[in-house]
Structure 1
């Protein structure tokens, strides 16, 4: 860990002598000066890709982004959308948006699009600028999702996020059934080493956690770990408000589950899992998204939450097999091998096919392709 980051964290810990997990993650991932996403050097270190710290669906195969583009195209066709706001949360290097726009540009030349990108990292914004400059669309960038709605026109809005929510900071809590108490996981600094510890929750904090449990605390096992992100909840609520105001739909692709239980946080350093404290400031951190919590927020906003699909089922439903057959017709042996390798990674149960989920929610009057309630 860089000495400057260590000293900054030490100062943040200060008199309390600890940081909760969410605040710790927020510093090491998103701090403007020391955060992981803002300190990767564009020339000396690649963030996303085979040589980087992690690789996402759009980098694995063009099929991924193209089929999301087809989904957007069908959504617009079903609902007669002629002018849209197209938003992506956490666009990475701009690969997904580039693939989506290529499909839309070829298949519906009359569709008018204003692109809005939520990006915290100036480093990644520079990649996106380079990737998207070939398209003749207006592109606006934001660092604050809560300011985005003020820049939107009144056109229908389609929001896409791929592996965005899994990297937002979370807190972890423990329920001790025998003592009927909750604790919060915290980070402490002892002898210049960071370590996990726990802090008893105050009585007024307990209802906030219980509200987000899918099971009654009486049914939980002893020492059950519960993950919750106030940031994710507020982001989803804001997305709901945008859709309610503008009409449209939201598409989330992320690895997740339908409950908040168990410790799912992991550290990834150069495409390999690593110990949580081994490469602070140089590692990416993520956790499984709790889609049950998202469903509760969406339905609380009177929007329609469609049943989750696995990434495999989503891509199959969108015609990935036909697409790969067509691409293979004019491909070399090496190109076909690369296509099949990407296909396998995207849909295989052993890789991304089942752990990654695809979720859609929309206004009740919107006709959504392939998803069912």
Structure 2
């Protein structure tokens, strides 16, 4: 059954579907969702979109050096990636750590897409463990854990709300005479949202995106009991609410409007780094642009290289030639060392 048919069935049954459920179904449905559908390339030049690790392994080197600066004497490490996709980021990190004589005890990937699990298992030359939830992650050694992700949180569904006369209403998708449309519906969490975002002065028609799915993941990270770990995540996002929809649709590297098509579409949101930062305040997190992540953590041999290919790759992943990637993408990191 196609995604559109499943969406139509839900709307026919209950009258509407909220944006979060729409995106989760479209991205992760077990049979028809974008990230599970077989025989469709998803990430890379032949896929629907491209990410920094697919552009160059220099991105992997940069975030690994970000980790090594915080734990410069590390000899053994456990790796945990959230949302690995094709797995290229972890493979590059593994190889770079090996070149630095750092032993990887364990490589675990949080990936709920069976498509990517199978693809990684087929290609990986090292043992890989898979989990579907962070609370499933177990390590029986006392070595530091390196937790990382790239464009993971943006694929997770968010609900959308619109401010109206002192309250929030939820934006949902419905259908009238075979035409899809957005509707407003009252929500019982309006007061809760007003409390969470009390530092903002909302005006009528301002849009708020809020995801309890992301909050649950952040809570699981917060509850990790390891004494030593480093967390870094890079994503398209913002540090102040934009008061508008950040929902993006991509297919074959082209942007789409909502309802243009339903099959083989990647849906993503801008990530609220301000909210993420507030979750980990006691860990003194740092938020920087991806440009600074790259330029501050690549070895000088690359930054000063006269090689045209290397210079072009640095320009791409630092945002000079790739749609402002360096400043529209943010990086949050922190360490725990007890």
Matches within 5 A, 1:135-284: 135=126, 138-148=127-137, 150=138, 153-176=141-164, 179-202=165-188, 205-213=189-197, 215-216=199-200, 219-242=201-224, 244-260=225-241, 261-284=243-266
> How many angstroms does 1:20 deviate by?
0.9
TM-score, normalising length: structure 1: 0.83
| Matches of 1:16 and 1:246, distance apart in 2 | 47
| Matches of 1:348 and 1:26, distance apart in 2 | 29
CA RMSD of aligned residues (A): 2.1
Matches within 5 A, 1:89-168: 89-109=82-102, 111-133=103-125, 135=126, 138-148=127-137, 150=138, 153-168=141-156
> How many angstroms does 1:247 deviate by?
2.4
| Matches of 2:5 and 2:292, distance apart in 1 | 47
| Matches of 1:195 and 1:34, distance apart in 2 | 22
Q: Which residue of 2 aligns with 1:369?
A: none
Paired residues of 1:93 and 1:131 also in contact (CA < 8 A) = no
| Matches of 1:327 and 1:122, distance apart in 2 | 42
Which runs of no fewer than 5 residues in structure 2 stay unpaired?
A: none
| Matches of 1:12 and 1:312, distance apart in 2 | 42
CA gap 1:155/1:319 in 2 versus in 1, 3 angstroms: closer
Paired residues of 1:85 and 1:152 also in contact (CA < 8 A) = no
Paired residues of 2:79 and 2:104 also in contact (CA < 8 A) = no
Q: Which residue of 2 aligns with 1:58?
A: 53
Relative to total residues, which structure has the larger helix share, 1 or 2? Answer: 1
Note if 1:298 corresponds to 2:290: no
CA gap 1:185/1:82 in 2 versus in 1, 3 angstroms: same
- Secondary structure, in 3 states, of the residue corresponding to 2:326? coil
- Secondary structure, in 3 states, of the residue corresponding to 1:157? strand
Which runs of no fewer than 5 residues in structure 1 stay unpaired?
A: 329-335, 367-373
Q: Which residue of 2 aligns with 1:348?
A: 319
Q: Which residue of 2 aligns with 1:316?
A: 295
Q: Which residue of 1 aligns with 2:15?
A: 17
Cα deviation, 1:301-329, whole Å, max 9, x if unaligned, reads: x33222x111111111113553154583x
Q: Which residue of 2 aligns with 1:371?
A: none
Note if 1:67 corresponds to 2:74: no
TM-score, normalising length: structure 2: 0.91
Paired residues of 2:4 and 2:263 also in contact (CA < 8 A) = no
> How many angstroms does 1:39 deviate by?
0.5
Cα deviation, 1:44-95, whole Å, max 9, x if unaligned, reads: x321111210000011112111222223333332xx4443321001111111
